[in-house]
Amino acid sequence: MEAVTVSSKYQIVIPKSIRETLGVKPGDKLVMMYYDGGIELVPLREIKDLEGIAPGIDTTVIREPDRQI
């Protein structure tokens, strides 16, 4: 956890350790949202960048008998 200071222009600097951990680079977009009394920043990624993030996950879907393909 790292503390940041809000500038007079309401800007903050994302600490280097967090930028490196998240892989955030200049020009990347972040989603900022209010959550449980605080602010959460989440990198906005292209859907193609998410390929392979959950190896081994079971992707089978159990369907009701009248919904079988």
**Burial of 22 from C-beta contacts in 10 A (0-12 / 13-18 / 19+):** middle
> Is-contact 18 2, C-beta < 8 A?
yes
Spatial distance between the Cα atoms of 41 and 28, rounded to a whole number of angstroms: 12
Question: pLDDT by residue (tens digit) across 3-14?
Answer: 999 999 999 999
Question: pLDDT by residue (tens digit) across 44-63?
Answer: 888 887 788 888 888 888 88
63 Cβ contact partners less than 8 Å away, ≥ 6 residues apart: 69
The domain limits of the chain are: 26-53
Spatial distance between the Cα atoms of 30 and 42, rounded to a whole number of angstroms: 5
pLDDT score of 16 more than 80: yes
Give percent above pLDDT 90 in the chain.
52
How many residues in the chain?
69
